[in-house]
Amino acid sequence: MGHHEHSLAIFRGRLKFKSIEQKIWGVFIFLSIITIVEVIFGIIKPESLMVPFMSSFEGGFMATMANIFLSPFIFMKPLNLIFIVLTIVKAYYITWDFMHMRDETKALRRMVVWTAIFLICYLVLILLVEGDYIFEVYKNNYVKFDF
């Protein structure tokens, strides 16, 4: 089997390193910067990022479709959206460079990543929709629970 070739570039080849050690430290610095940004945002919580970018569309079928497709911008605080995107970026570099996914075959990579991502997205979608539905039931129906 021998050793695989190690890819020494990140950011789609825009940043090349001379050796594996250098690439590891480079990725570490990048992950640290992201974490520091997250912590700073988490502490100051800028007011402008606390209200969603858009309000939901009213009307017929097309409005419903638009609400679904644009849901991250309609129903989510921009700050939380930023946190989630940064988390996925961090997860990508941990998997690709620390776990050497970059150097595995395409088939192994897809087997692991696509399976997990599909199942996790499905699970999260189902549970969050259900949780929101129960919230609406508690709020709008004649169930006394604040006593």
> Binding residues for another protein, per CB under 8 A?
1, 3-4, 20-21, 24-25, 28, 31-32, 35-36, 38-39, 41-43, 50, 80, 83-84, 86-87, 90-91, 94-95, 97-100, 104-105, 107-108, 111-112, 115-116, 119-120, 123-124, 127-128, 130-132, 134-135, 138-139, 145-147
d(CA 142, CA 78): 33
Least Å from the CB of residue 68 to another protein: 17
d(CA 97, CA 22): 12
Query: Residue 62 or 143: which CB sits closer to another protein?
Result: 143
Beta bridge partners of 15: 10
Which amino acid appears at position 9 of this protein? A
d(CA 49, CA 41): 10
